[in-house]
Structure 1
Amino acid sequence: MPDQHPAPKSRSHHPGCEEAANPECDCRRCFSLLHQHGILSAAITSEGSPTDFKARLTDLFGSAFTKVDSDPVPAQSTRREWQPIATAGTGKRRTQTEQRFVDVTLRDVLWNVHSILHPPSFKAGWLELAEGLTVTADWEGLAARLTAWTGDPDDGSGYFWSSMLAAAAVSPWTAGTPGAPDIITQSSLPQLGHARFPRAGSGRNLTAIREMANTNTTRAAADVISRALSRSALAIRDRRLVLAVVGSAVSPDLWHHPAATRHHLIPAVLGLRTRHNAQFSLDNHDAVEDRIDGDLGQKWRDRAAW
């Protein structure tokens, strides 16, 4: 495909957030706008050889496991600490299963995006839309405005941008793109307002995304997102796919983010599968999107978070 280069970013942004090797990244400077920006841009532009990119994915997300409940062998690596199944308690086993579902599937989404090479022009316009959706050219200005309205980012702030992208995903696209007022309306959905792991019920296990409850922050985000989508010349289905891929990547941790898992990760899998015959490592008896919905989704659904 034509040579494409990401727009320049301020040197003041923490490079660790852009690479985000650890899911614990709390995105305290950019509200997750540039979270995993490096690997996302590389996937969209098909940067590097397939071998090099696959190695980079393994460094970030671990190996492409085909089972969610098998101990890694010496040649395999995991993104998070793994306790052998034989010694792990019930809760730990469930946690590891849930985390592997999202970590491996996000890895596969990025791998499949990187693998789209023919025709060479197929992804033309994808990078421009991704850069618009992540405000790459002016993330500092937007982050400063968000901070002025809600104060310094906290533990939930990193989930804000992916949640606003989810609000766009579930908004009406009757005019070919969601309007800012519709995105603002959808941002008030209670399922979008908290970060929580699948079995979290209440209390300290729920993290409020306070920016989702502020009219200034949601309005500013909705304006940016709607404008980026409306300016894109891509077909609607391609805009939706790019939105889903970006929304999956910028979430600090899909295991803690039901809105991103439901409205970004699963649609990204479906879009890549139907449009590009993509295969996923955890397609085992059932398609991985159905397995995620049946496992993580059901747990979040039971807690009115899905």
Structure 2
Amino acid sequence: MSVTIGIRRSRRAADRWLLTVAALVVTALVLLPIVIIAATAFKPAAEINAYPPTLLAAEWTLDNFARIFRDLPFGRLFVNSFVFAGGVTLCALLFDSLAAYALARIDFAGSRLLLIVIVASLMIPFQATLIPVYQLVAQFGWVNTFAGMIIPRAADAFGIFFLRQFFVSLPRDLDNAARIDGAGEFRIFRSIVLPNAVPALLTLGIFTFVNNWNDLLWPLVMTTAPEMGTITSGLTLLTGPSGIIPYGTMMAGSLIAVLPLAVIFLIMQRRFIESVATTGLK
């Protein structure tokens, strides 16, 4: 018996050791691009173009950060990214939650067909609808405006489906009790469903903000004026006429662009992890 227990303990220790090694390897692979970006941002141009390449800088410099603020309206681009990503996130949470509530908590004719259409729209790539959407936005005169960047993304099929699945899991007894007390649908939505859906809303909000903050194609298409671009689209302006890319300056801009997302995650990591776990349980 003691031999069997010892073998089991040895296997458990070996499993823990293997899992630890695997976690460290995966973490190193995930962090390696960020380390390369950070190291390149502090390298002079001569060292970046040297062969063979080196990971860490032999001579540290801040010229790349100074140049990005000199060559681009980087402060304006930074603010534009917050307005764009934040505006899309707020609108998406509002409209997605309203549509999801109707599909999950209100019985009406055609609701199942409407849900199928929404889910099917997830199969259509964004690039296939890019030109028609751009033409429509251009007809409204919204090119180079925040309205043109935000409104076409004010609702998202994935967000509707995601919140709908969460709303379905909430007990309907809460709705029925509120209706008996005379509450209408908007009162039930605002006072009962939304407070119980905070984990799902937080999860969707973080994913929506990050995806739009990092998006390149949509801001690049919708903005032709440099002062209306975002960080991601503004970095493309650094490429010279001969196709020469200042990698150090571009890495400096990328590093600055990553910092707000890292700060937001560090501040909200506990709530975010709890929300993902709770959403999974639901």
Instruction: Mark the structure with the bigger radius of gyration.
Output: 2
Higher relative contact order (CA 8 A, sep 6+): 2
